[in-house]
């Protein structure tokens, strides 16, 4: 299982990314089986990761900038998105899965005006 943290920022700041306590309110973490699942998830939100090399972030295996800003799902469309997600990935339909995607969608809504979104592959 891989843990990917999505972090919203107004400007790129490695010091901010290296301070877990500081970035806590600006991030949401999801547990996925692979980078392929991460790519599928990003497709649902109309974004992808950049090939650009990122500066080293402490205790992180890899990091990427998102290309574009994620488009959060309307609450009325969330269940349809969730069903498509399960069908494409074969993941289990449970409250943990639903909850982590709902929280990620909430992060995208909360920080919709942020200029930068980073994905960190956590070294957990």
The tens digit of pLDDT for each residue in 38-54 reads 999 999 999 999 998 89
Question: Cα 53 from chain centroid?
Answer: 18
**What local confidence, expressed as pLDDT, does residue 53 receive?**
86
| Residue 27 bridge partners (DSSP) | 7
pTM: predicted TM-score of the whole model, two decimal places: 0.94
For helices 75-89 and 95-110, angle between their N-to-C axes, nearest 10 degrees: 130
* Tokens at 44, concatenated: 């649902």
Angle of CA points 111, 117, 123, to nearest 5°: 115
Q: Convert the pLDDT of each residue in 67-92 to its tens digit.
A: 999 999 999 999 999 999 999 999 99
Q: What is the DSSP letter of 25?
A: G
């Amino acid at each position: 299982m891989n843990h990917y943290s999505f972090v919203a920022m107004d400007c790129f700041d490695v010091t901010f990314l290296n301070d877990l306590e500081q970035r806590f309110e600006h991030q949401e973490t999801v547990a996925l089986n692979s980078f392929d699942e991460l790519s599928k998830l990003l497709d649902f939100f109309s974004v992808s990761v950049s090939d650009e090399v990122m500066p080293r972030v402490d205790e992180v295996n890899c990091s990427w900038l998102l290309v574009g800003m994620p488009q959060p799902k309307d609450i009325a469309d969330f269940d349809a998105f969730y069903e498509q997600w399960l069908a494409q990935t074969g993941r289990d339909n449970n409250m943990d899965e639903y909850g982590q995607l709902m929280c990620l969608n909430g992060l995208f809504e909360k920080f919709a005006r942020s200029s930068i979104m980073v994905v960190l592959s956590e070294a957990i």
